[in-house]
Structure 1
Amino acid sequence: MHKRPLVLPTLTLLTLSITSHFALADRNKGKVPIVTPECSDIAVCKQQGIFTNPFEEPLVTGEFPDQNNTNITNPLNNYPDNGKCEENEDGVLKCKPAAGSLALLNDGRILYFNALEGTENVEYNALLEIGSAIINDQTRVLTMKNDNASWIAPSPVDAGANPDGNDSETIIGDITGFLGTSLPLDLNTDDDRTNNDGALFCADLVGLPNGELMAVGGTDYYHEPGVNTSLLGEPINFGLSELEGLKNSRIFNPEDNSWRKTGDMNFGRWYPSALSLANGNVLVASGVTKLVKPVYLTRPETSGRNVTVTETYDTSCGEWTDNGPLAERSLPLYPRLHLLPNGHVFYNGGGQAFNPFGQSYDQALWNIVAAYDPQSKTWADLGFAGLPLHLSEAGISDLASFLNVTNTQADESLSGLLTGLTEEFISNPFDALAPIIDDPYRLADVQALLGAGFRGSTFSMMLPLTPDENGTYSKAEFLTAGGVLTGVAATSPGLYLGTNLARIDSVTIEGEKMLYDSRSTGSLQQGRWYGTGVLLPTGEVLVVSGADRDEVVLPGSGKPILKAEIFNPETETFEQVAEQNRPRTYHNSAALLPDGSVLIGGHAPINTAYAYSVTLPGFSPNDGRDPSFEIYKPSYMFGDRPAIGKRNKTVAVGERFAVGLKNTDAATAAMNANIESVVLIRRTNITHLIDGDQRSVILPIVRKTDRRVVVQMPTQQAVVPPGDYMLFVNARNENGELVPSASKAITVTGELSAMCQ
């Protein structure tokens, strides 16, 4: 039985049977209003924006009693309730999902799924109970229309992986008896249950060219070792919990709201990063197969570290391929990866790690930023994160590959390293040191030095890609802000308190060369761990949610940050804006919506101090997850805006197309006359602060009139990988401020590549 009152009491069936039809028509459809508070001071709203009131699914899991034997329309097949959880007759809580991960679909709906589902049922100690308490995560699809929100449950609701159990990678099989007698002690309990073998928690999300979404990896929960027996009729199931990464990949089809399995990866991955390549295929990197005890008896050389093998998914046949030994790299969990304009994949020196104890014996290599070439299937080291050093120019771009202990072609990496040193650095060391020689004071920048190196629990935001005068995209910039800094020791993944330091890293492409650079920017107004960044159509970056310290080190000990901030790309400074309503620390999420507002959700913390869920006075709310959402309306939504009329629904790479302008009134027409830029923004697929496909692309304007703007699509497919985007136009208002239109959905097509034979 559940012994602690962790949530509000829920309605009983008896209560339901005598309740009047309290908004029953809407509530049976899962519909609730989205309420924007009245703006008491329009000047403040125009400066800081405003948050709507929180809104959440008005249902919890449980069959709706059909009192009159009539068919009641209810998409979730549940009964109305305003609490967060329902307790069944066995004392088990079933709770509404929080948006730990979410994706914006092409029709404007939101797919999201839960994180750590079932932690509310831990009674004493999460470390000893989650192997049996946690279950597969629920998914939902949220529709927001005409200031109302409604929900449906996809099928299957938990995405359907491993219904017959996962092929868990346990260290040793069960202990089978002593002197012919069965023992209650098992070396693992991986086969005891099948409703926790395919959790979506800690998978990554990526958009496919056809508009579908793929979830890569996930979690299999069990105890290793554990006790699974009954004493005095009461079941006992506890032990040292293990979280194992899944090999599974699952695809969500927005047309019928269904999940299906696709090809399995070669390695189980928990916290992997996935992103779309220029040809529409998907790269996956990192993740860990066993989180708590990363010991693999069949391949001992891979023990004690994350998965170094990278794999590529062929969208034409649904199969994964190992990219080979030179494509291996030691990376943090959820490494911050981005697709560069030349088609290479950039690692930006950020990710997730478990502070202050460490995650991998070779994690000092995480400080080195690098780029992966999908054609040659090799990595090139570019620099030390946050410092103005050109490792590629120094001839040591193979350093990390050579130091990879599982690299079966280390001799080839050594050869490249020696060749680079002798032919490049020794012959012309000034190229490698050019940033320092040009400005030697950069190494005396204390802020840059403190903020250098691997950064944990921070976002890495690709800033808008801008063409040069020839229409070529040759430079990419990335904003990193907040998180936790690297510890004093090179092998320490990070400190405890959130930092306010921020920097912009850049990669400039010059033919075959890629030059890395970094500079400090203005700092956040508050140190912030686990803040989510959202790129706005104007090029500004909204930062929301998070806490003042690492909530994984000691869950429930942080203080939530409610004040949102916006980064101004022109001044490179942060400014505080409106305050969100709900604290959202661990497993928060956010996404840019088609109208230019931002959806904010999530908050699924680990049990307090790894014990049970309770809120400590004055600290982060830790008595369970928060299933609510709220919407931030930026300042540009409180005034006149430009408007898009007709446009192509599909455009190809390299195509020229017209964007119609909708002059509904004089004010809109005046804004349309001042169009300054046309922007494509990839639809959000976010989990744990990362969205590998995140990008904003400024399109060159060929000509414009008061009724339409003609723009040129990039000829570089890596700038706009095939998939679903939002099209915005930006105009200057009378105050010189950049104001975006609401967007129109647009799909980019390109040449897809098939590896399968």
Structure 2
Amino acid sequence: METRSLLLLLFAITSLFISAIGGQLYLGRWKLLKRSIGISAMHMQLLPNDKMIMFDRTDFGPSNLSLPEGKCISESHNTDCFCHSVEFDSINGNIRPLTILTDTWCSSGALSENGVLVQSGGYRLGERVVRSFNPCADCDWVEDANGLITPRWYASNQVLPDGKKFIVVGGRYQFNYEFIPKTSSSDQTLYQLPFLKETRYSPLIPNNLYPFLHLSADGNLFVFANDRAILLDYVNNKVVKNYPVMPGGISRNYPSTGSSALLPLILHGNFSIIPNAEVFICGGTLPDSNQKADAGEFIAASKSCGRLVINTANPSWEMEEMPMNRVMGDMIMLPTGDVLIINGAAKGTAGWNSAREPVLSPVLYRPNTPKNNNTSRFEIMSPSTIPRLYHSTAHLISDGRVLVGGSNPNRKYNFTALYPTELSLEAFYPPYLSSNTSRPSITAIVPGVNLGYKQKFSMWFQLKEEESLGNIYVTMVAPSFTTHSLAMNQRLLVLAMDDNGVQNVAAGNNYVVHVNTPATPALAPAGYYQLFVVHEGVPSKATWVHIK
């Protein structure tokens, strides 16, 4: 334990962005932010006030943080006075304990158009609950015990174009979907989705849990389960496209647990042009690996990845390989449009004590790099010292860092297990945050941060005095709800810039660029986004904007 603490301390104070390990150069660096936040961060959601909401499950047992007086939880004749949810201020590092009354274990969530976190499902008394958290100074969780028609444990959520409605898909023994909140008669209907039953690799398995969901550029819903996908017209409850099976025989959803992202949507100045919507899926393992792990045999995870343009007439998978095997990796979109794959293990699956060989090094995936025999799109990053396995999370924050927390493959809080319960929170600094790299800074958004669709706005930004103007682009990132290697609702758009390009408007390296907002809510559901300007591959800090 003393050796491990020393290693954590060394990583907390290191300032090296490039370190030589075994003769190989690794990029990026890590910093320990909190040795303990009091809970294990199983779920994360960034709010538009730059506060991060984190929580685990209410039946984990004693955490390292107590609830405020009078907030103890009573369930099944047990009284729990320990906190299982916190608000973390990503700017000053402060932690505020929050109260959840019902079990949130393996639940899902999304951010609404007005910035409220809407969170659904869980275990036992939490399985039909819809919770909300409003981003204000002293707000706490509000819970609706009957917010769902049917129990949802390991279900997935996707915000719909209006930003007010959410689709909740699947869950244990649930081959269906429904909508929340219940504001109309159609929301009281349970819609069957046989695809979720058909894609089980064995009738003995409840189903493929936590399906991957992505809102396509036309407003339909891409649903992926294990090794295949459909495009769902959820308005008419109709499957409008069946996609080819992903090659390789690998299962990608829980408990095999690969990861998925919608690659950047590159928008056009011509609003009538719909951009390609391309899904990227990596990792996972063989379908029977979970049963073998339960028997003590830990199968190597997969290296394979696939890309699929989901809104073309005849889509086909483009396959490639990561530098290492990985299961339970988190896939986080960086402001540059690159993808960070972080956390996970090289063997086994998700589940209690079901994985071995933690993968400590993230990899950076550059989707725009041409694919050929001499060039890899992947780049290995500097390793952490902390294994992040089952129930770990990661999330982009507004200054460009990636927060990493959680990991508890144990049934309770256990600090002496092979892979102990992790209460720590650390930050990964991607290579663009190198100490010798200067960052652009956004100085103004004109006419303001409240935007509409098909609108032109001006972004003013500044470079360092000695820096010459290089390649510039503007990205808009939707913050995700992350849990179990899913970044639900994660979305990145590269905005179309005016043909006049970037203009130098004042002394001191001040510039302005005129930018078009997305054309439709299908491209960018109404709500809050982090707006970045990227100069020569280095992003600014984000400015929050709101579109509706």
TM-score, normalised by the number of residues in structure 1:
0.59
Q: Secondary structure at the match of 2:89?
A: strand
CA deviations 1:388-433 (Å, max 9, x no partner) are xxxxxxxxxxxxxxxxxxxxxxxxxxxxxxxxxxxxxxxxxxxxxx
Q: Is the 8 A contact 2:391 2:407 kept in 1?
A: yes
- Structure 2 residue 543 is the aligned partner of structure 1 residue 747: no
Q: Distance in 1 between matches of 2:183 and 2:463?
A: 43
Q: Distance in 1 between matches of 2:17 and 2:228?
A: 50
Q: Is the 8 A contact 1:276 1:693 kept in 2?
A: yes
Q: Is the 8 A contact 1:273 1:284 kept in 2?
A: yes
The one-letter amino acid paired with 1:506 is V
5+ residue gaps, structure 2: 3-8, 64-74, 198-206, 290-296, 372-376, 505-510
Q: Distance in 2 between matches of 1:312 and 1:149?
A: 35
The one-letter amino acid paired with 1:340 is S
How far the C-alpha of 1:375 sits from its partner, in A, is 2.4
Q: Distance in 1 between matches of 2:83 and 2:497?
A: 45
Match of residue 202 from structure 2: none
- Structure 2 residue 225 is the aligned partner of structure 1 residue 279: no
Match of residue 223 from structure 2: 347
Residues paired across the two proteins, number: 488
Matches within 5 A, 1:166-181: none
5+ residue gaps, structure 1: 1-5, 8-31, 59-95, 122-129, 161-197, 221-243, 289-305, 351-366, 387-447, 489-493, 733-737, 750-757
Percent of aligned pairs sharing the same letter: 22
Equivalent residue in structure 2 for 1:566, among 339, 356, 364: 364
Match of residue 417 from structure 2: 615
Q: Is the 8 A contact 1:699 1:711 kept in 2?
A: yes
Q: Secondary structure at the match of 2:310?
A: strand
Q: RMSD of aligned C-alpha atoms?
A: 3.4
Match of residue 37 from structure 1: 14
The one-letter amino acid paired with 2:16 is C
- Structure 2 residue 174 is the aligned partner of structure 1 residue 307: yes
Match of residue 660 from structure 1: 460
Match of residue 246 from structure 1: 127
Match of residue 212 from structure 1: 116
Matches within 5 A, 1:306-705: 306-314=173-181, 320-322=187-189, 324-325=191-192, 329-330=196-197, 332-350=208-226, 367-386=227-246, 448-451=247-250, 456-468=256-268, 470-471=270-271, 472-486=273-287, 496-509=299-312, 515-521=314-320, 523-552=321-350, 555=353, 558-569=356-367, 570-571=369-370, 573-607=377-411, 614-616=416-418, 621-622=419-420, 625-638=421-434, 639-647=437-445, 648-663=448-463, 665-667=465-467, 670=468, 673-702=469-498, 703=500, 704-705=502-503
When residues 115 and 531 of structure 1 are mapped into structure 2, their CA distance, relative to the original with a 3 A threshold, is farther
Question: 640-649 or 677-686, which moves further after superposition?
Answer: 640-649
Matches within 5 A, 1:32-181: 35-39=12-16, 48-57=27-36, 96-115=38-57, 117-118=59-60, 138-145=84-91, 148-154=92-98, 157-158=99-100, 160=101
Q: Distance in 1 between matches of 2:17 and 2:398?
A: 26
How far the C-alpha of 1:105 sits from its partner, in A, is 1.0
Q: Is the 8 A contact 1:599 1:632 kept in 2?
A: yes
Equivalent residue in structure 2 for 1:261, among 126, 143, 152: 143
Q: Distance in 2 between matches of 1:712 and 1:450?
A: 42
Match of residue 204 from structure 2: none
How far the C-alpha of 1:695 sits from its partner, in A, is 0.5
Q: Secondary structure at the match of 1:677?
A: strand
Q: Distance in 2 between matches of 1:52 and 1:98?
A: 18
Higher relative contact order (CA 8 A, sep 6+): 2
Q: Secondary structure at the match of 2:347?
A: coil
Q: Distance in 2 between matches of 1:680 and 1:54?
A: 26
Q: Distance in 1 between matches of 2:116 and 2:526?
A: 12
The one-letter amino acid paired with 1:203 is S
Q: Is the 8 A contact 2:108 2:483 kept in 1?
A: yes
When residues 564 and 346 of structure 1 are mapped into structure 2, their CA distance, relative to the original with a 3 A threshold, is same
Q: Secondary structure at the match of 2:318?
A: strand
Q: Secondary structure at the match of 2:380?
A: strand
When residues 714 and 524 of structure 1 are mapped into structure 2, their CA distance, relative to the original with a 3 A threshold, is same
Q: Distance in 1 between matches of 2:481 and 2:545?
A: 16
Match of residue 710 from structure 1: 514
How far the C-alpha of 1:453 sits from its partner, in A, is 7.8
CA deviations 1:683-714 (Å, max 9, x no partner) are 12111111331110111001331321111112
When residues 555 and 539 of structure 1 are mapped into structure 2, their CA distance, relative to the original with a 3 A threshold, is same
Q: Distance in 2 between matches of 1:554 and 1:310?
A: 27
Q: Distance in 1 between matches of 2:415 and 2:308?
A: 39
CA deviations 1:667-689 (Å, max 9, x no partner) are 3xx2xx32431110001211111
TM-score, normalised by the number of residues in structure 2:
0.81
Q: Distance in 1 between matches of 2:400 and 2:547?
A: 20
Question: 308-317 or 103-112, which moves further after superposition?
Answer: 308-317
Q: Is the 8 A contact 1:51 1:581 kept in 2?
A: no
Q: Secondary structure at the match of 1:199?
A: coil
Q: Is the 8 A contact 1:651 1:748 kept in 2?
A: yes
Q: Is the 8 A contact 1:327 1:378 kept in 2?
A: no
Larger Rg belongs to: 1
Q: Distance in 2 between matches of 1:203 and 1:275?
A: 13
CA deviations 1:449-495 (Å, max 9, x no partner) are 3558878301111110113573423421111111213359xxxxx99
**Higher helix proportion (structure 1 or 2):** 1
Q: Secondary structure at the match of 1:636?
A: helix
